[in-house]
Structure 1
Amino acid sequence: MGLFGFGGRAASLPDFTALSVEQALDQLRALSLPRRNRAVASVLYSARARPAALEEQIALFDQIAALPDIAAHHRANARIARTHKALELGDADRLSDGMAPLLALRDEIASFSASDDIRQDRCHVGFSRLYVALNAALMTRDRALVADLVEEAQANCRDHLATSLPGGFYRSSANVMRCLAFALISGRHAADASRAEIAELAQKVYASALDKRPPAAHRRKDRKVSSGIAMPDAEFMRTAALAQLLTSWAEGADLAAPIGRLAVAQRTEAQRDRLLTCWTALT
C-alpha cells in the first residue's frame, strides 16, 4: 500500500505541503481526472498531506471546492473542511464568507446515495455539513440560522431513521446527535412538545448507532483521543452521553452547560472555549 492508502500510484502525486495554493491548483489541473480525484482525496482526508498553515488550507480547500469536474463528494467535503479550519482560526470573516456556498450544498448532498464509505454517504456528509454550519452560526451568534439548521437536522434525522442505515452510521451518529443538541440554544424548542421530539430522536439515533456498532476487532484503532480510546468509540461515548442528557433536558433539567461542552466543535481548546462562550451567550 502506498502513500495515504491509495496504492503505489499515489506516491507520485504532488507534495501539497511544499506548494503554494496557486502551484497546487496548477498541478491538479495537469493531472488526469482519476489522478486528480486521488490527489484531492489525499489532501482532504490526510492532515499530513496539507500545508501546515490553516489560512493556506482554507484557500486550498476553497479552490478544490470550485473544481467543476472532481467527484461531488470531494467538493462537498472541501467546503465542510474549510469551514472547520475557519472555526479553528476563530475567523468570523472567513466563516461568513464561506456560509452561503456551504448552505447551498443542501440539495446536492441530498442527491448522494447511501454508502458504507462515509466520505460519500448522504447521511454522513449531510450531517457533517449541518454540524459545521451550526458551529459557524454559533460563532457568529446567528440564532435564527441556528434554529433553521436545527429544524433541517430534525427533518433529515426523521428521514434517515425511516430508511435502512448504512454500517457507517455508528460513526455518523456523533454529528447527528450534536446537531440535535443545538436545539437547546435555537430559541424555537422551548416548548415541552419540541423538547420531547428532540429527546425521542436522540434515543432513536443512539439505538440505531448501537445496532450498527461493529465488533471490537473490526473497529478502527489507528486514530485515538488523548485518553487512548479509539476515535470511533470515543465519539460513540459522546453520542450516548448526549442521548441521556437530552432526555433529561426534555424532562425539565437545566443542562445547558454539560450539553454545550459535548455539543460544540473542539478540535483545539481555544476553539472549544470560544464556542462555549457563544453557547452561554445564546442560552
Structure 2
Amino acid sequence: MTPSYPSAKRNRLRIIMTATALALLLQSGVAGTAGVATATASNTESKVTTNSSKAIYTTFQSKLKQKNGLIAADAYLSNRITQVTSHHLTLMVLQLENARLKSLTAMTDRMLVPNVQAKIMKIYQWNDTFTGLMKRTQDSSLQSLLKEARDSGYKLVMIEGSLYPIMNYSAFQKYNTNLKPDISSYMNIMATETKKIPAEDGGLLIGYQEILLRAINQERFLELYPTSNRVKQVQNLLDSYTMYTFYGLNNTPLFDYETNKMMPNAQKGYTAVIQRLATVDSPFLDKLASFMDVVSEAKYEKTTAVEAWLDINVPLTDDSSR
C-alpha cells in the first residue's frame, strides 16, 4: 500500500484495536474475578483518603493536558496506583485511553512519512517491536520517534505492507488490580485484540475457535456490566465477531465461493467449541448451535435454507464488516 492514511482505513484500524482468555473465564469465572478485584480495591481505598486521591487525580489531569503529556501522565500514575481510590484510578485510566486514542492519528501520520517508513523497513524484522528497532538504528531522530511511540502506549504492527503504531492495551493491565471490575475486564478484552489483531485486508488472522472464544468473552462482559462506560466499544467488537463467525470476510468467507461449501476448519472448530462448552450459558453459542443444525442438514452447503436462516437471525447491514 502507499504511505498514506485514508480515513476509511483509520476507522477500520480503530475497530480492530477496539477477552480475557476463555480459559481464565471458565476456570475462575468472570464474576469470581470481579469479586476479587472489588475486594482488592476496597482494601486499597481503606488506606487512602478521598482528598489525597483527588489531589493526585487533579495533578494527573494537568499532566495529561500538557503538550505531549501522555508519557508523563502515565509515569506519574504508574507510581501512584495504590495511592488513589478505585474510582479515581478508573477515571484516570479511561482518560489515558482516550488521550492515547486521540493522539494515535498524529503518531501514525508521523510514522507513515515515506522516508521514515523506508528507514524502518530497512531494519525491520518479523514481529518486531519499537524497542527492537531502536537497538538496530543509529539514526537519533528515528530513535527518538520510536521511543516516543513506545512510551506513549503504542505497539508496532505490519498491516498491508506498512508499519503502523496501534494501541498497546497490554500496557494498561498494570492498573488492573485496583480498577473497577468492568474496566479491568475491558482492558483484558482489548489486550487480547491487540496482541493478535483478528483481521487484515479482508481476511481473518485468527482461527475459528479463537473467534468464538473472544465473542463469548465479549458477550459475557455485556451481560455482567450492562451500564459500563465501555459497553459501546465491546458491543462493536461483538458485532464484528458475529460477522466473522456467520459470514467470514471477503478473503476468508465462511462458505467457499466456488463450491459453496462451509470451510472444513470452520466445521471442525465450531463443532468442537459447541460440544466443549455445552454447559455454558451463552445466547451467542445457542445461535451458533442452531445455525450448525441447519448447515449440517444442508450437508454444509450454503443452500437457500441456510441463506434464509442467516437473513432472519444474522441479517447484514450496510456497515457490516465483510
How would you bin the TM-score normalised by the shorter chain? 0.3 to 0.5
Larger Rg: 2
User: Normalising to structure 2: TM-score of the pair?
Assistant: 0.37
Structure number with greater CO (CA < 8 Å, separation at least 6) is: 2
Q: Which has the higher helix share?
A: 1
